[in-house]
A and B are shown apart, each in its own frame.
Chain A
Amino acid sequence: MFPPQFGYRRAGSVAEAVDLLAEFSDRDVRVLAGGHGLLPDLKAGREAPDVLVDIGGIDDLRYVEAGDGAVAVGALTTYADAVESEALWSRATAFAEAVSRVGDVQIRNRGTVGGNLAQADPSADPPAAALASEATLVARGPDGVREVDAAKFFAGGGGTALRDGEILTEVRLPTADGAEKREAAVGGAYVKKTHPASGYALVGVAAVVTVEDGRVTDARVAVDGVTDPPRRLAPVESALEGESADADSVDSAADRAAEGVDPEAAVSDAYASGAYRVEVLSVHVRRALETALDRATGAAATPTGPPHRSAAADGGDRR
């Protein structure tokens, strides 16, 4: 399968990329990062742009920086590079775990965190984690830099809040700062039932919880693979907040996972219907919350990342 003809221009810097997007603004122009979302679309004929602007060589956008109150991940950081960051695991555990569950060794070597978010596939792993982390997505365009809350970024059907001429440059994951005690009381997790053919999520759930004095003071839960776009599960969150941090509270909250999720509108394919995905949602919500709570309370250690780049964090389906 050869993609249809298209023009190709390589950008050496973010500024040059923005200029190139402006230069081709009257054409169907697409941004190429790692290409692991876009190239399969081109080969299958789902996309046929006139011009690709390749930003994959902009090394300035490859970094994981742990700063005050946030961990920032450059948009062109590969999945493999991102999961080597201990700071990402310790401070944005749900996001790190979601990134570690993308694809396979070869895909994680090449695909990028920002490319994944910009592609906005409803069954991709990082978007739910970005939502549960209350991430900020940073875009740069002809009018300068703009910040978008993850909650307002994913529009459904692969659409995002990115405007024509803008590129995504960074995802910023807010983390509890200050006293070590408070950091230790936050736990995150991402659990996934992998689609056996595509490798995307049939159901993916990201959870971030804060526990103080044995009570859940903050709970954020988001799902991918089920709704388009991925979304937070407000009934679960409100059912858990204020409750004691134990299995009964988690069970009661997880029971509400399907509230407001319409099986008719859910993601559906020949392998798994929307109704099936909604049916198995609550058990995955329960698992994500259990793990996040265990990590928050110290009952389970927060992972520090895979032992090496090609080690796949792929055991989650066999429980």
Chain B
Amino acid sequence: MKDNKIKLMSHLVAGYPTDELAFTAARALVDGGASILEVQLPFSDPSADGPAIQGACTEVLKRGYKTEDGLIFIAKLHKEFPEVSIYLMSYGSLVYTPGVENFCKKAAAAGVTGMIIPDLPFDFDEGLTAACQKNGMNNIPVAAPSMSPVRLKKMATAGFPYIYAALRTGITGTETSVDKATIDFLKATGEGGSKLYGGFGISNGNQAKALADSVEAIVAGSVFVRIITENKDNSEDLYKAVRAKAEELTNKNN
């Protein structure tokens, strides 16, 4: 019988709402079937994120949270869930300011295996791809449907092992419909042989099923951040709600 489980890359903001609850959320995600954890290092100006994630980042930063704290959190996740890949998502400023090479070295040491930095575009990445390779990680560029066919082809054939396909224009956190245009975009993005992660506005099992055959894993972010926010006063409820949503998206119980 064909395994109908769907691979899930799930997103969480490091340190949100607390380190402890963020860890509980990570455990729920893994128990719910997530095979990749995309951990966002909070940034003061997350221009590609929607209100749910930006609000979470702002709250964490108010506590004086530093990059170092985020990497300690990641190291703890890596130790606890060694079988789960951890991708670090953030913005160019946090990577560029301390030095790209320096940042990548520290990230790799914490257990990161991939970097997703949307505002360091693949052809002006300040050496991110090379620094990732040097440190045993992948730079995972983000493709968007609004890219010109020429530019998309350039990215698709640049030899990236993985590409994150943002499934519509706009920001994270609003609903995306998976239609023929979505599937065509995914085909074009994967043309050069890169494995694809597909996300942006994925919040339910039906979307996940519609995408499953076209991607290596689906990506869901804001939906989890919202669930975490709604349940941040009760650790047990938070665990249950996050796990249930992960199970829905991974089709785990079917």
Q: Do A and B bind each other?
A: no
Q: Which residues of A contact B (CB under 8 A)?
A: none
Q: Which residues of B contact A (CB under 8 A)?
A: none
